[in-house]
Amino acid sequence: MSEQTGKQLSKEEKDARFEAELLPVLDPLYNFAYRLTLDEDDANDLVQETYLKAYRFFDYFEQGTNAKAWLFRILKNSFINEFRKKSKQPAKVDYSEVEGYYNSDDVEGEGGVASTTDMRTESVQDLIGDEVASALNALPVDFRTVIILCDLEGFTYEEMAKILDIPIGTVRSRLHRARNSLKEKLEKYAKSMGYNS
Amino acid sequence: MESRFTETHQKLSDDGHESECDKIVKLLDLMIDGEASTEEQSYFNTHIEECVPCFESHQKQKLLKGLVCGHLKRVIVPESLALSIKARIQETV
């Protein structure tokens, strides 16, 4: 409890604590930045800026509290303040190129199932993933954001409300509209592939 | 533009009050996100046991969430990023 107040730490101690508490969030944070900016360089800059801001305000961060939500909040604010004006795309992006590499560990994680999976199934998985990505990327950024926070990162409504600075009721209605919109886009795709939903 | 999905479920019952199905539609997100209260959960589950359209809506909503969390590829963090963050922090006084 009375471990430290933060302000008396030496630079080395502070740096070590910072890295231990906040760097594990790097992967989800970078993915969030990428989904917001749709550009790897911008995502890179945004994440660096987020960590530098977090470092400046680290004395105010209470150890053991939700580091992930805190960093996501900083990143989202930086994005709104600086990046949003600058990058007015969704420009045409070749998603198959940008997302050509992905974490195959996730796919193969389920007890060696992957070794027996045939190639056709894997390419169908890829195809679905590409389609979900382009449907998601075509959504307005506010819609994209709530879906990523909720479905990809598993934040609760309450955490989302804090990250986005909006009431929980707004989180709910925005999520609902975002999902309807995503559903519409994916249904169109399903129809074009000859499936009736 | 509202999706057809919503429209089909937004019909009010004859007396103009919210029908049970309307209430269920409002609970769909809460259910799939694990945010529904115990009372909401049992109300929801009792209803979808008997109502096929609502049961199907629930299946669809779960599928949609599953598509995002199960199929969206994660991008790989460039190796240099963690290093440059550490370097820039060490420079910071």
pLDDT of A156-166, one tens digit each? Answer: 999 999 999 99
Average confidence score pLDDT of chain A: 80
Residue-level pLDDT at B59: 94
Name which residue leads in pLDDT, B5 or A18: A18
Angle at CA of residue B58, ends B45 and A117, nearest 5°: 120
Residue-level pLDDT at A106: 40
Helices A11-22 and B79-91: angle between axes, nearest 10 degrees: 150
Nearest alpha-carbon partner for B48 in B27, B73, B24: B24
Angstrom CA distances, B61 to A178, A180, B56, stand at 12, 9, 9
Residue-level pLDDT at A37: 93
Looking at the complex, does the CB of residue B56 fall below 8 Å from at least one CB of chain A?
A: no
User: For A2-11, A33-42, B60-69, which range has the lowest pLDDT when averaged over its residues?
Assistant: A2-11
Read off the pLDDT of each residue in A68-97 and give the average, rounded to a whole number. Answer: 71
User: Which residues 127-186 of A are in CB contact (within 8 Å) with B?
Assistant: 128-129, 132-133, 136, 147, 150-152, 154, 156-157, 172, 175-176, 179-184, 186
Domain boundaries, chain A: 9-87, 118-197
Task: Pick the residue from chain A with its C-alpha nearest to B89.
Answer: A52
> In 3-state terms, what secondary structure has residue A83?
helix
Angstrom CA distances, A147 to A65, B26, B52, B63, B76, stand at 23, 17, 27, 14, 20
Q: Which are the contacts of A147, defined by CB distance < 8 A and separation ≥ 6?
A: A136, A139, A175, A178, A179, A182, B68
* B51: containing domain: 4-91
Q: What is the longest distance spanned by two Cα atoms in chain A?
A: 65
- What is the distance between the alpha carbons of residues A53 and A85, in angstroms, rounded to a whole number? 20
Cβ neighbours around B14 below 10 Å, total: 7
Out of B72, B77, B84, the one facing A30 most closely (by C-beta) is B77
Read off the pLDDT of each residue in B42-56 and give the average, rounded to a whole number. Answer: 96
Binned at pLDDT 50, 70 and 90, residue A196 comes out as low
Binned at pLDDT 50, 70 and 90, residue B71 comes out as confident
- To the nearest whole Å, the CA of B71 is away from the closest chain A CA by 5
Look at residue B8 and tell me whether its pLDDT is greater than 90: no
- To the nearest whole Å, the CA of A132 is away from the closest chain B CA by 6
Helices A168-192 and A119-137: angle between axes, nearest 10 degrees: 130
Binned at pLDDT 50, 70 and 90, residue A125 comes out as confident
Residue-level pLDDT at A97: 35
Tell which CATH classification among 1.10.150.530, 1.10.10.10, 3.30.360.10, 1.10.3720.10 matches the domain A118-197.
1.10.10.10
pLDDT tens digits for A36-61? 999 999 999 999 999 999 999 998 88
pLDDT tens digits for B12-22? 445 556 789 99
Look at residue A119 and tell me whether its pLDDT is greater than 60: no
> What is the count of structural domains for chain B?
1
Q: Which fold does the domain A9-87 belong to in CATH? A: Rna Polymerase Sigma Factor; Chain: A (1.10.1740)
pLDDT tens digits for A88-108? 544 434 343 333 333 333 443
